[in-house]
Amino acid sequence: MSSDPSGKIVEQALGAYKKTFAESTISDTSGDFPRFAFSELTLGKRLGEGGFGVVSEVLAFDISAHEDSHRPPETSVEVETTGVEVERKEEEEDPDFQGRKFIADHCIRNDSDARYAIKILKKSLVDKADVNLMVKALADMAVETHILSAIEHPNIVKLRGVSQQGRYHPEYFIVMDRLYDTLDKRLKAWAEVFPKPPPMPKKNPPSKRQSSGSTRSTSSRASKLGCIFGRKSSQEFDDDEEKEEQDDTVEMNPTTIESSPSNLEKKKKLLEERLVACFDLASAIAYLHERNIIYRDTKPENCAFDVRGDIKLFDFGTAKELPPQNSKRDLTFNLTGMTGSLPWMAPEVAKSDPYNHKVDVFSFAVLLWQIVALEMPFKEYESDLRLFWEEVHNGPHKRPEIPRLGWPKPIELCMRRGWAKEPSERMEMKQIENILRKEIIRVRKGDDAGLRHDRRRSTFVFRR
Ligand SMILES: Nc1ncnc2c1ncn2[C@@H]1O[C@H](COP(=O)(O)OP(=O)(O)OP(=O)(O)O)[C@@H](O)[C@H]1O
Ligand SMILES: [Mg+2]
């Protein structure tokens, strides 16, 4: 990466960035974060890449060689000291030095794991010099920096530092916490714990569709989700453990192997783990909505687990701050259409109609279904996009299937009232968060430990 993008690209990217924060009430505090030159970083493994960005772990921040350029202008120290003491005193008092040192000193955990990662524009994108793509990529990075600098939630990735280069430089980067498995990877691992049984021979013709908003698919893991949420409801799952064990001895029943006492324990743990991930994400999105920010790209690829196993939302390039008048809920805005990823995208976004924060509720409801069902939503339309448009975004407004025997009613409610066609009929994320909290407490038989985000331990973020 060499030359600066042309003035025209910078101007357009700045324009797009400003549009995102037209009447902003959240301040960009990125100037308060420790700053680093790209040449100070020793990068390790490449952790992933998206449309614009590539993310790599940072093995070292070599701040010593560049410290001179960071030192503030000489200040007069009115005590008699030696030159070395003056220097040390200046360093100790300089918040920028302290922030940089803090990151440099903490960048490796337990002598081996990188604690931080950087996101920088993909070299191939910069080299391609496609004006429109570059504008979008630079604007996304600027938006992401602004939003991440202004928010703090235990389930949103933390910004730790920024690049010294200006925001519209191709070598601009942000430093954040290094995350591990993305949710899509974890979903596959969860699905493998209790593999999908072979399809049962059909005894009866399929019964009528049980509810509005179901898809065509009846085969799926979702239909046998009894084995994950309890056959009838998770309440009965809790109450009828013994009975269930006996029921499961039916010959050829594919759940036989899965329902030994130790497997029941495993299932419960897995259920709880997944519900906690859903609750944490709901809480993160509700937090954004309280600040008038819409996320617009909720999907498993944009969620990942940290070293402690807590889920985090990241990738804020497509987030948007709504104009303040949205305090009158359910006003809609003319925003960019087709933002996000199709299976989780609300119909109004797909159709480029005006929309508001309820688009995140739609996406979350589809994601909730995915985490419960351990299936890809709308996969039956994978090879027929036209049919997907016809049946999901238009016509019958089909939705993922909720099995006939049902999941816990509150969970079903979050799905049905989350992906309602009319945004005004969708619940608020806060309501969903509260429902999920109650559900976890119920599954844990009253234990509410760790479910108050405002009381959770959060790692220290160094700012001036
Ligand atoms: N903090 C992190 N720690 C570890 N891996 C990360 C982190 N942030 C992102 N990744 C990995 O890098 C990938 C790309 O990141 P991200 O989604 O932010 O980039 P993007 O170019 O903005 O993506 P998109 O095309 O989805 O908009 C992610 O899918 C994930 O695998
Ligand atoms: Mg992404």
Determine which residue's CA is closest to atom 19 belonging to ligand 1. Answer: 50
> Is the Cβ–Cβ distance between 361 and 427 less than 8 Å?
yes
Contact (CB, 8 A) for 119 and 55: yes
Tally Cβ neighbours within 10 Å of residue 358: 25
Q: According to the model, what pLDDT value does residue 366 have?
A: 98
- For residue 338, pLDDT over 60 is answered with yes
CB of 315 closer than 6 A to ligand 1?
Answer: yes
Return left, alpha or beta for 349; rule: phi > 0 is left, psi -120 to 50 is alpha, else beta.
alpha
- pLDDT at position 298 is 96
Quote the pLDDT of residue 189. 95
Calpha distance 335→320 (Å, rounded): 9
Of the candidates 169, 69, 53, the one whose C-alpha atom is nearest the C-alpha of residue 118 is 53
What is the structure's pLDDT at 88? 60
Nearest ligand for residue 316 CA: 1
Decide which of 128 and 4 is more confident.
Answer: 128
The token duo for 283 is: 């809480």
With a 6 Å cutoff on the Cβ, whether 277 touches ligand 1 is no
Q: Is the pLDDT of residue 398 over 60?
A: yes
CA–CA separation, 175 and 67 (whole Å): 19
pLDDT of residue 27: 86
Task: Give residue 262's pLDDT band: very low, low, confident or very high (50, 70, 90).
Answer: confident
Is the ipTM reported for this complex over the cut 0.95? yes
Nearest to 326 by CA among 24, 15, 18, 14: 24
Our answer on whether the CB atom of 390 is closer than 6 Å to any ligand 1 atom is no
Q: Which ligand is nearest to the CA of 181?
A: 1
302 known member of a binding site:
yes
176 Cα to the center of ligand 1, angstroms = 11
- What long-range pairs does 443-446 form, CB within 8 A, spacing at least 24? 443/234, 443/238, 443/268, 443/271, 443/272, 443/275, 444/272, 445/238
Nearest to 101 by CA among 158, 160, 61, 74: 61
Question: Is 119 part of any known ligand binding site?
Answer: yes
| Cβ of residue 44 lying under 6 Å from some atom of ligand 1 | no
Quick one: pLDDT at residue 82? 58
Nearest to 268 by CA among 53, 90, 440, 48: 440
Residue 301 Cβ contacting ligand 1 at under 6 Å: yes
User: Between residues 155 and 201, which one has the greater pLDDT?
Assistant: 155
Residue range 156-180: mean pLDDT, rounded = 94
Architecture of domain 7-177: 2-Layer Sandwich (3.30)
Q: What is the pLDDT at residue 404?
A: 83
Task: Please give the distance, rounded to the nearest whole angstrom, from the Cα atom of residue 102 to the centre of ligand 2.
Answer: 28
Q: What are phi and psi of 71, to 5 degrees?
A: -70, 135
Q: Is the pLDDT assigned to residue 185 strictly greater than 80?
A: yes
133 burial class (0-12, 13-18, 19+ CB within 10 angstroms)? middle
> Has residue 365 got a pLDDT over 50?
yes
Q: Which of 76-90, 96-110, 200-214, 366-380 has the least mean pLDDT?
A: 200-214
Nearest to 147, CA basis, from 55, 284, 47: 284
Question: Mean per-residue pLDDT for 22-48?
Answer: 91
Q: Which atom of ligand 1 is nearest to the CA of 341?
A: 26
Residues noted as catalytic:
297
pLDDT tops 60 at residue 240: no
Q: Does residue 147 surpass a pLDDT of 80? A: yes
Is position 263 annotated in a ligand binding site?
no
Confidence of residue 73 (pLDDT cuts 50, 70, 90): very low
Instruction: Give residue 303 CA to ligand 1 midpoint distance, Å.
Output: 9
Q: How far is the CA of 101 from the centre of ligand 1 (A)?
A: 26
Strands, sheet with 41-49, edge to edge from the N-terminal-most edge strand: 35-36, 159-163, 173-177, 116-121, 53-61, 41-49
Helices 358-373, 183-193: crossing angle, 10 deg rounding: 30
Per-residue pLDDT of 39-63, as tens digits, reads: 999 999 999 999 899 999 999 999 9
Sequence ranges of the domains in the chain:
7-177, 183-455
Q: Cβ of 420: how many Cβ atoms within 10 Å?
A: 20
Ligand nearest to the CA of 340: 1
Distance separating alpha carbons of residues 177 and 191, to the nearest angstrom: 27
Q: Is a pLDDT exceeding 70 seen at residue 220?
A: no
Question: Which band of pLDDT confidence, cut at 50, 70 and 90, is reported for residue 412?
Answer: very high
Instruction: Say if ligand 1 is within 6 A of residue 47 CB.
Output: yes
pTM of structure? 0.82
Contact 432, 282 (CB under 8 A): yes
Does position 232 have pLDDT exceeding 60, yes or no? no
Which atom, in ligand 1's list, is nearest to the CA of 122?
21
Output the DSSP codes for 200-238. PPP-SPPPPP-STT--S--SSGGGGTHHHH-SS-HHHHH
Q: Please compute the mean of the pLDDT values over residues 268-272 and round it to a whole number.
A: 90
What whole-number percentage of the chain has pLDDT above 90? 50
284, 156 Cβ separation under 8 angstroms: yes
Ligand 1 atom 28: the closest Cα is on which residue? 48
**Which CATH homologous superfamily contains domain 183-455?**
Transferase(Phosphotransferase) domain 1 (1.10.510.10)
